[in-house]
Amino acid sequence: MSGARTRRQAVAAAAEAQTVAHNGNGKEQQVLAQDSAVDEVHENIFLFWPNIIGAKNLEGYVRIVLAIASLAWLPVHPRTSSLLYSISCLLDALDGYAARYLNQSTRFGAVLDMVTDRCTTACLLVFLSSAFPRWSIVFQGLISLDFASHYIHMFATLAMGGSDTSHKSVDASRSKILNLYYTNRTVLFLCCALNELFFIALYLLAFSSPLLSPGLLQIVPDHEAVAIQKGAEVNSSLLSHIFINPYSAGALELARANKMDSFWPWVLAIVSFPVMALKQIINVIQLVKASRWLAEGDITARRTKRLSKKA
Over the stretch 177-204, which tens digit does the pLDDT of each residue have? 999 999 998 999 999 999 999 999 999 9
117 is catalytic: yes
Please give the model's pTM, rounded to 2 decimal places. 0.72
Which one is catalytic: 95, 117, 171, 298? 117
Residues 93 and 229 placed together within one structural domain of the fold: no
Q: Which of 204, 191, 19 is nearest to 92 (CA)?
A: 191
Minimum mean pLDDT among 77-91, 94-108, 155-169, 271-285: which range? Answer: 94-108
CA gyration radius, the chain: 28
Does residue 148 lie within any of the structural domains?
yes
Residues 100 and 161 reside in one and the same domain: yes
Least Cα distance to 160 among 288, 298, 59, 272 occurs for 298
For residue 163, the domain's CATH number is: 1.20.120
- pLDDT exceeds 70 at position 309: no
In a domain, 294, yes or no: yes
Per the structure, the complete domain to which residue 166 belongs is given by 45-208+260-304
Q: Of 67-81, 121-135, 199-213, 294-308, where does mean pLDDT reach its minimum? A: 199-213
- Domain count for the chain: 2
Indicate the pLDDT class of residue 115, thresholds 50, 70 and 90: confident
Q: Which pLDDT belongs to residue 5?
A: 47
Angle formed at CA 56 by CA 50 and CA 58, multiple of 5 degrees: 60
Diameter of the chain measured on Cα atoms: 105
